[in-house]
Amino acid sequence: MVDALQELLQGLFGSVFPLVWALLKIVLIIAPLLLCVAYLTFWERKVIGWMQVRVGPNRVGPWGLIQPIADGLKLFLKEVVVPTGSDKRVFVIAPMFAFAPALAAWAVVPFNDTLVLANVNASLLYVMAIGSIGVYGIILAGWASNSKYAFLGGMRSAAQMISYEISMGLALVVVLMVSNSLNLGDIVNSQGKGIFADYGLGFLSWNWLPLLPMFAVYLVSIVAETNRAPFDMAEGESEIVGFHCEYSGMAFAVFFLAEYANMILVSTLTALLFLGGWLSPVGFLPDGLLWLFLKIAAVLFFFLWIRATFPRYRYDQIMRLGWKVFIPLCLIWLVVVGCWMMSPLNIWK
């Protein structure tokens, strides 16, 4: 069927066919992603509702299923207030800066051995580089609002993101050290080998077990990196004000979407780097896309779960955890794994 479609389009567009084909693939990734973002907000409200013995949204549509669409429509129709004295151009660009990297990173994310938009050699580096741009959205939003609260909030969130990017990066260095590659597809495939995988217990040879401390550091870091509870300084309405306090309507919605798109992105990365991507956990079941989606959903559920469980961290505690606990831990574990790989006990050959 794919071949037939390819032929049809080739006849239709002629020489610009590769461009059209690439655009089609991009749409095929982005459209489901945006739908997932919308329904992630719905799922979050439902899950937290159940955890707190409530029902969650249940009025719009059957079981409240149309709720995210209604929310989107409401935000879309609201007025975007641009504060007086704000830098209007930067004020409008800032939400795009926050949202665009979360979409652009998907260009190199592999869904199975062959299904990837751009199979780049250094795809992990690309994801990290694109991911590090998201901080501009926050810092520019804070500055362009021309408000002291937004400015301080922007500084705070930006400092938090930069700090946790370091521990995240160091955890990833350990991963790419043991898998001997920067390519996300190769990293996944390297997790399918090992003693346990030979016994048919593949899930024990994925990176999460041998690199357990790094897995823990990475899990906490991605929560802090996406500004989610319990590290959600930006949303602590009652005690502290965030960078988007001057934003309204669709401009605010884009920040909101960026947060959820980032959550899905980092969950996918966790599934690929530590949880074996599309590999099946046990030998008698085949590998496949379904496993990847299940793992992403599990990590996303973890996000929602800890949001319903833990109270918010204080800002100085967040910074201490990042700089004084995680970074030294990562540096030490980097050396430990290096020695492990050089010793006869090396399990990653």
Partner 1 sequence: MEFKTFVFYFFSAILVFAALRVITSRNPVHAALFLVLTFFSAAGVWMLLQAEFLAIALILIYVGSVMVLFLFVVMMLDINLDRLREGFWSYLPLGSIIALLMVAEMALILGGNYLGLLESSVPQAAADVSNVKAVGRLIFTEYVYPFELASVILLVGIVAAVALTQRGKRKNKSVNPAQQVFVKASDRVRVLQMPAEKRE
Residues binding partner 1 (CB under 8 A): 87, 90, 120-122, 125-126, 128-130, 132-133, 135-136, 139-140, 143, 151, 155, 158, 162, 165, 182, 316-317, 320
Neighbours of 18 (CB within 10 A): 10
Query: How far is C-alpha 345 from the chain's CA centre?
Result: 34
We find the least distance from the C-beta atom of residue 153 to partner 1, in angstroms, to be 13
We find the least distance from the C-beta atom of residue 170 to partner 1, in angstroms, to be 14
Contact between 229 and 306 under an 8 Å Cβ cutoff? The reply is yes
Using the minimum distance from each CB to partner 1, give the nearer residue, 301 or 323: 323
Using the minimum distance from each CB to partner 1, give the nearer residue, 122 or 306: 122
Length of the chain, please? 349
We find the least distance from the C-beta atom of residue 281 to partner 1, in angstroms, to be 30
Using the minimum distance from each CB to partner 1, give the nearer residue, 124 or 211: 124
Cβ within 8 Å of residue 18, ≥6 positions away: none
Using the minimum distance from each CB to partner 1, give the nearer residue, 64 or 185: 185
Q: Which of 259, 258, 261, 269 is nearest to 295 (CA)?
A: 269
H-state helical runs in 14-87: 17-51, 67-77
Using the minimum distance from each CB to partner 1, give the nearer residue, 168 or 279: 168
Angle at 194 between CA 109 and CA 197, to 5 degrees: 80
We find the least distance from the C-beta atom of residue 125 to partner 1, in angstroms, to be 5
Rounded Cα distance between 141 and 55, Å, is: 35
Using the minimum distance from each CB to partner 1, give the nearer residue, 34 or 87: 87
3-state secondary structure of 271: helix
We find the least distance from the C-beta atom of residue 37 to partner 1, in angstroms, to be 24
We find the least distance from the C-beta atom of residue 317 to partner 1, in angstroms, to be 8
Rounded Cα distance between 349 and 329, Å, is: 25
